[in-house]
Structure 1
């Protein structure tokens, strides 16, 4: 988690890139916490 915070801080100057990384991380977290999403 600390490395994630450092990564977000390093790219924090570009808000659009920060937003896209945040969305990607959110989707990744959703896929990890909801494994039944992939069980068709």
Structure 2
């Protein structure tokens, strides 16, 4: 479920990690770390 919201936020923000993480209320570092967890 988490990955769904993260990928949707990335799509809405044009693959901008900073904007997507801000939209979800987490830091860019946390966002990137969670994405790496799912897409290694």
Q: TM-score range by the shorter chain?
A: 0.3 to 0.5
Higher relative contact order (CA 8 A, sep 6+): 2
Larger Rg: 1
Q: Report the structure, 1 or 2, having the larger helix content.
A: 1
What is the TM-score with the length of structure 1 in the denominator?
0.41
